Amino acid sequence: MTDPQKLLRKDPSMPFGIAVDGRKWSEAVAEAWRFADLIVLYPGETFRADLYGSERLIPFVVRRELDLLRPVIERLNMERDLLLVFSLAPSRKSRCELSFICAVGKGIDQGGVLTSQTTHQHGVVSILDIPATVLKFFGIEPVSPINGSPILSVPSKNFNRHRYLWGTGEAARVTDGWLRVAVLATWCVLQAIMFAALAVILLMGQKAKISDGWQVPLALLTWLPVIVHLACSGVNATMASFFWKGAGQIVLSAILVLVAVAASRNLPPVKAISIAVVLSSLLFTLDAFSGGLLSVNTPFGYSLFFGGRYYGLGNVGMGLTLGAIYALALALDWRRWVAASLCFVGAILVGAPFFGANIGGALTGIVVALMAIFSGRFRWWHLLVAIAALAVFFGGFSVFELTRPEPLTHWGRFIRSVAEGGLTSFASMVWTKLGISLRAFRAIHWDIAFLAQLFLLSVLWWRQGRDWKLATLLAGIIAALLFNDSGPQTPVAFAFLPLCVLASKSLANLRSLPTREPLG
């Protein structure tokens, strides 16, 4: 430990008028190098510039800190030593949660890309991985289990490393910037307007004069998630050096736009919406099966910069996946046991650690599946079946997670935390999740869409009476609200496609009813 005051000098050109003295710094590094096994260097130049509030000085102080690494680099033995250069946090003026890290030395491929079992993403690791990396380097086993996994490197021969890293970061920055906000806000507002209008029409009944073109905006809106999800994933792929893959996705999304317009204008509304539901369920199911390959840095997926998720399905994507699967059964008029089977498969897809890795989605899917079977004909032994199904389902997930060096899901982290910390950890995590969920209600566009969906659902219930389809949808909305820490976002995503199907069918039945002629 070196007294930091001895390493500083007065410098009027630097933040707060002080800077690291290069000569004294080199001498301190040389002295520590002779006897220390682990050296932690923290010049503090970027931290002082950040506190000073000068964005102009940031590039300059970054270069100064890199120059201060020269005494280390000159002494570095690539076969024996390991150098980790990282920032604990990004600038205070940055909305992003990711910062940079570089590694060189023992166990690191030169020119490779860093990864870990925590993130499962090339080019992205967690700050929790740094202690695990240091322990592995010295061959030390932690006294108690820790979060994080050792940092690894993978060769970058199959892709352009610089463009890949730039594309990943830029795509994540855009995803949680104007693009994500614009897409989700537009989607929420459009569906709120559409669902509120449909609810009013259904309330008016045969008094409402409905034109033949009413189905076009609803059908086009039904296509929006699948087209945007595919197109944004394609744009991200092209930015990250996977040009032909991304170009193919963009072309496919453009073809879907043409199909959507043609189907909406030329087919009966129920059929046009059914086609959109079939394709949506196919795409989102494939996304879940691939571990959320299309969800990274997309508006309906998640961003690597926020939320602590690096793989699988985000809550919005999970909701759309389960909703599309349930809507598929509704659109094709399949029986309730088929719908329940599909929802059970959907619960595995969105919740399994090796697929969607979203435990809240698994809970929601199980509730929807059980409600589809038991709605309207509940018996006492059904409760035993439900408890047994939940025990088997989550017991299997728990065993899988606890046998891994690093949990893949929030459920695995929850189980491990409760096993180590007891009820205190349980209460702390529940309280944290509740606070996150309540804060999510501050997004007004999600609140508007949520209220519009509830309004339409209540009108459908009023018109159709007690029906297992509506009861299952309501149970799914409640489960999505309770089991996911995203407020109204997951319920809105889950209910969107089923409501499109049910509303279009109800409106088609309304148009087919005979009108009453006045008595002459």
- Asked if residue 466 belongs to a domain, the reply is yes
pLDDT of residue 68: 87
Gap between the Cα atoms of 449 and 470, Å rounded? 18
> Are residues 72 and 193 located together in one domain of the fold?
no
Q: What percent of the chain has pLDDT over 90?
A: 25
| Boundary (domain end) residue, out of 99, 134, 161 | 161
Gap between the Cα atoms of 209 and 511, Å rounded? 9
Gap between the Cα atoms of 502 and 494, Å rounded? 14
| Boundary (domain end) residue, out of 111, 133, 161 | 161
CA angle at residue 186 from 501 to 458, to 5 degrees? Answer: 40
Is the pLDDT reported for residue 406 higher than 80?
A: no
Is the pLDDT reported for residue 408 higher than 80?
A: no
Please write the tens of the pLDDT for every residue from 487-513: 899 999 999 999 999 998 888 777 665
> Are residues 189 and 256 located together in one domain of the fold?
yes
- Asked if residue 248 belongs to a domain, the reply is yes
Of the two residues 141 and 316, the one the predictor is more confident about is 316
> Are residues 245 and 274 located together in one domain of the fold?
yes
> Are residues 130 and 178 located together in one domain of the fold?
no
Residue pointed to by tokens 């389809």: 469
pLDDT of residue 515: 45
> Are residues 396 and 462 located together in one domain of the fold?
yes
pLDDT of residue 520: 37
- Asked if residue 253 belongs to a domain, the reply is yes
Is the pLDDT reported for residue 280 higher than 80?
A: yes
pLDDT of residue 359: 81
Distance of CA 178 to the CA centre of its chain: 17
> Are residues 223 and 372 located together in one domain of the fold?
yes
- Asked if residue 438 belongs to a domain, the reply is yes
Please write the tens of the pLDDT for every residue from 81-92: 999 988 776 666
Is the pLDDT reported for residue 185 higher than 70?
A: yes
Is the pLDDT reported for residue 125 higher than 80?
A: yes
Gap between the Cα atoms of 295 and 32, Å rounded? 46
> Are residues 146 and 180 located together in one domain of the fold?
no
Is the pLDDT reported for residue 403 higher than 70?
A: no
- Asked if residue 514 belongs to a domain, the reply is no
Q: Which domain holds residue 176?
A: 168-509
SS (H, E, C) 13-50: CCHHHEEECHHHHHHHHHHHHCCCCCCCCCCCHHHHHH
Residue pointed to by tokens 């659902």: 457
Q: Look at the alpha carbons of 68, 72, 74, 78 in this order and tell me if their dihedral is positive or negative.
A: negative
| Boundary (domain end) residue, out of 161, 191, 211 | 161
Of the two residues 113 and 385, the one the predictor is more confident about is 113
Which of 113-117, 190-194, 374-378 is modeled with the greatest confidence? 190-194
pTM more than 0.95:
no
Please write the tens of the pLDDT for every residue from 10-32: 888 888 888 888 888 888 888 88
Are the beta carbons of 217 and 226 closer than 8 angstroms? no
Q: What percent of the chain has pLDDT over 70?
A: 77
- Asked if residue 384 belongs to a domain, the reply is yes
Distance of CA 144 to the CA centre of its chain: 30
> Are residues 239 and 142 located together in one domain of the fold?
no
pLDDT of residue 242: 78
Q: How many domains does the chain have?
A: 2
> Are residues 177 and 119 located together in one domain of the fold?
no
SS (H, E, C) 236-258: HHHHCCCHHHHHHHHHHHHHHHH
The 10 Å CB-count burial string (b at 16+, else e) for 338-357 is ebbbbbbebbbbbbbbebbb
> Are residues 20 and 40 located together in one domain of the fold?
yes
pLDDT of residue 456: 94
Average pLDDT over residues 333-338: 89
Going by C-alpha positions, the residue among 377, 348, 382, 353 that lies closest to residue 365 is: 348
> Are residues 373 and 442 located together in one domain of the fold?
yes
Distance of CA 422 to the CA centre of its chain: 28
Going by C-alpha positions, the residue among 387, 316, 305 that lies closest to residue 358 is: 316
Contacts of 435 (CB under 8 A, 6+ apart): none
Q: Which amino acid is it at 397?
A: F
- Asked if residue 25 belongs to a domain, the reply is yes
Is the pLDDT reported for residue 409 higher than 90?
A: no
- Asked if residue 519 belongs to a domain, the reply is no
Q: Which of 80-89, 167-176, 234-243, 455-464 has the lowest mean pLDDT?
A: 167-176
Indicate the average pLDDT of the chain.
Answer: 81
> Are residues 363 and 297 located together in one domain of the fold?
yes
pLDDT of residue 94: 59
Which of 298-307, 324-333, 396-405 is modeled with the greatest confidence? 324-333
Instruction: Provide the 10 A C-beta neighbour count for residue 464.
Output: 15
Burial of 241 (0-12, 13-18, 19+ CB in 10 A): buried
Gap between the Cα atoms of 369 and 386, Å rounded? 10
pLDDT of residue 450: 94
